[in-house]
Amino acid sequence: MKLHTGDLSPYSSKVRMQIYAKGITDIKFDLDPSFRQGKFSTISPIGRIPVLDLGDGDIIPESEIICEYLEEVYPEPSMLGVGPRARAEVRTISRIADIYLMNNIFMALPQLSRKTRNEAIRDLFVAQVTRGMGALERHIGSGDFAIGNEMTIADCTLVPALWMCQNTVPMLDAPNPLDTTTKVAAYWEKIQKNEIAAKVLAEMERGMQARLDGSE
């Protein structure tokens, strides 16, 4: 199998984090040049990364679907949580991070340039991120991981989303929604010291550097 991925892509980082945590070694990573050339829709109709290539043109798009597929193909160690209630909570946190944090952060990013910024649009999306952060504050656990005592898919979605929040929202000259939280801020402080999270965060930093250098 091959994962079409990118260092800076938070959705791809989520899948890579799951792959590292599960110790999967037979998935290759690839950033197809056609993605950068805007021709990626020939590989995946949705035209976005990550995409899991199973071979012979058989592909699975969407980070959440790929993560669920990998859980079925590589069930051990499970990263879905222990028991139905914990699994529902893991999926809730993953959904908050995807839909209410990451999606709104992406929608705000076109307002990064001060010259062309529409402050009303920036404020609309940052307010939605702050609202999502408020929901996360109420759902997240108080231990080392988002839910329970082991790393789950919730951590895989949350770590790249919190990195995005930390590294992009202040560049919009807006208050950082992380600063409105207590439990999420404590989690963020702790999880960055986790070896697997740190590996993915280092890749995202590398991707950001490449973007700033113009080499990607």
Ligand X SMILES: N[C@@H](CCC(=O)N[C@@H](CS)C(=O)NCC(=O)O)C(=O)O
Q: Which is nearer to ligand X, 68 or 150 (CB)?
A: 68
Which of 2, 47, 69, 208: binder of ligand X (CB under 6 A)? 47
Task: Provide the minimum distance between the beta carbon of 25 and ligand X in the complex, in angstroms, as a whole number.
Answer: 23
Q: Which is nearer to ligand X, 76 or 212 (CB)?
A: 212
CA–CA dist 87, 34 (Å, integer): 37
Contact range with ligand X by CB under 6 A, out of 47-55, 111-119, 128-136, 162-170: 47-55
- Contact between 169 and 105 under an 8 Å Cβ cutoff? The reply is yes
Binders of ligand X among 60-99, rule CB under 6 A?
Answer: 62-64
Element holding 3 (H helix, E strand)? strand 2-4
Q: Which is nearer to ligand X, 48 or 117 (CB)?
A: 48
- Contact between 139 and 89 under an 8 Å Cβ cutoff? The reply is yes
Q: Judged by CB under 6 A, does residue 117 bind ligand X?
A: no
Q: Which of 106, 196, 92, 98 is nearest to 140 (CA)?
A: 92
- Contact between 84 and 91 under an 8 Å Cβ cutoff? The reply is no
Contact range with ligand X by CB under 6 A, out of 56-64, 124-132, 140-148, 169-177: 56-64
Element holding 91 (H helix, E strand)? helix 84-95
DSSP string, 146-166: SSTTS--HHHHHHHHHHHHHH
Task: Provide the minimum distance between the beta carbon of 141 and ligand X in the complex, in angstroms, as a whole number.
Answer: 23
Which of 3, 5, 9, 16: binder of ligand X (CB under 6 A)? 9
Q: Which residues bind ligand X (CB under 6 A)?
A: 9-11, 47-50, 62-64
